[in-house]
């Protein structure tokens, strides 16, 4: 059964299946996932390593394609889009936060946050204003001109989240956002993201096996062996 908590979905996953071919062996990563993510959600895809949660997150973001089923994001069936239209949708409607941060090493924190807005064609003065404001919100006002190598892991992850949010996406997809952080830094980052969710109605979907992230999430979807085995609100 497809699960939902409101009549305003931002993502719909319909009977999603994904199989990886490893030599002569087929590995079923996802096996019939039905799930709805409501607009304004703050939710976690939880489960052990290899359960399929990161695969599902990548499919939701259009970074990979399912072998069967369909994904509807903000009213768009991802499987029906051309490569250029899908790239445009990712640029304008999806914010990504990767476990490895994926910041551009030669750019400053400010320039990294501005980068997505630059690709969107937002004028320089406006993107600079937005980038500075969100870095200020994330406690990085004194770090505008530092490059990633000059920032701590927690600071880099905050820049990555700021970059994802600054482009005003419909949904932010975050893969193991606390994996490389100590518990105090991870908690601070989750507080910031929850504040963005509450105050700006930014939708967040995390893949995680971190109990702290699950505790912060208002909805937890537990995936095991490519299937949803539990889906509950807190």
Percentage, residues of the chain above pLDDT 90: 65
**Whether pLDDT at 1 is above 70:** no
- Alpha-helical segments (H) within the chain: 53-60, 83-93, 109-120, 124-137, 153-166, 183-200, 211-216
Report the pLDDT value the prediction gives residue 4, as an integer from 0 to 100: 47
**pLDDT computed for residue 129 by the predictor:** 94
Q: Tally Cβ neighbours within 10 Å of residue 156.
A: 22
- Measured CA to CA, the distance from residue 194 to residue 37 in angstroms comes to 16
User: pLDDT, tens digit, for every residue of 36-74?
Assistant: 999 999 999 998 888 899 999 999 999 999 999 999 999
Q: Cα(first)–Cα(last) distance of the chain, in Å?
A: 20
Residues 45/223, Cβ–Cβ less than 8 Å: yes
Residues 22, 84: Cα–Cα separation, whole Å: 29
C-alpha pair distances (Å), 34 with each of 54, 63, 200, 223, 229 = 16, 19, 27, 12, 11
Task: Count Cβ atoms below 10 Å from residue 226 Cβ, excluding itself.
Answer: 23
Among 22, 26, 45, 77, smallest CA distance to 207 is for 45
Q: Closest Cα to residue 99, out of 66, 58, 131, 132?
A: 58
Residue written as token pair 């640029």 = 91
What 3-state DSSP class applies to 21?
A: strand
Which residues have a Cβ under 8 Å from the Cβ of 56 and sit 6 or more positions away?
Answer: 13, 16, 30, 33, 45, 207, 223
Number of CB atoms found within 10 A of residue 189's CB = 23
Asked if residue 197 lies in contact with residue 186, where contact means CB atoms within 8 angstroms, the answer is: no
The average pLDDT across 75-89 equals: 94
The predicted pLDDT at position 149 comes to 94
- Mean pLDDT, rounded, of the chain: 90
Cα 169 to Cα 39: distance, rounded to the nearest angstrom: 12
For 102-125, write each residue's pLDDT tens digit: 899 999 999 999 999 999 999 999
For residue range 194-224, what is the model confidence (pLDDT) as tens digits?
988 998 888 999 999 889 999 999 999 999 9
pTM, 2 dp: 0.89
* CATH superfamily, region 40-65+81-233: P-loop containing nucleotide triphosphate hydrolases (3.40.50.300)
**Residue 6: pLDDT above 80?**
no
- Would you state the pLDDT for residue 2? 44
Whether the per-residue pLDDT at 157 is higher than 90: the answer is no
Q: Which of 85, 33, 38, 82 shows the shortest CA–CA distance to 58?
A: 33
Q: Where are the domains of the chain?
A: 40-65+81-233
pLDDT at 10 exceeding the cut of 70: yes
């Amino acid at each position: 059964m497809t699960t939902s908590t409101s009549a305003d979905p931002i993502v719909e996953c319909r009977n999603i299946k994904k199989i990886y071919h490893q030599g002569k062996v087929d590995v079923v990563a996802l096996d019939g996932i039905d799930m709805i993510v409501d607009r304004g959600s703050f939710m976690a895809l939880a489960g052990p390593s290899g359960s399929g949660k990161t695969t599902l997150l990548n499919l939701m973001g259009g970074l990979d394609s399912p072998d069967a089923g369909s994904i509807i994001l903000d009213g768009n069936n991802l499987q029906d889009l051309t490569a250029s239209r899908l790239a445009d949708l990712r640029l304008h409607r999806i914010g990504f936060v990767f476990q490895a941060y994926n910041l551009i090493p030669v750019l400053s924190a400010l320039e990294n946050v501005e980068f997505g807005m630059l690709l969107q064609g937002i004028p320089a003065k406006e993107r600079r204003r937005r980038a500075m404001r969100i870095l200020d919100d994330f406690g990085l006002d004194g770090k505008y001109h530092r490059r990633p190598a000059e920032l701590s892991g927690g600071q880099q992850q905050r820049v990555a989240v700021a970059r994802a949010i600054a482009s005003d996406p419909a949904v932010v997809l975050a893969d193991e956002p606390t994996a490389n952080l100590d518990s105090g830094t991870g908690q601070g980052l989750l507080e910031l993201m929850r504040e963005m969710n509450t105050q700006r109605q930014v939708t967040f979907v995390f893949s995680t096996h971190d109990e702290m992230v699950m505790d912060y999430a208002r909805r937890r979807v537990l995936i095991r062996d490519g299937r949803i085995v539990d889906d509950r609100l807190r």
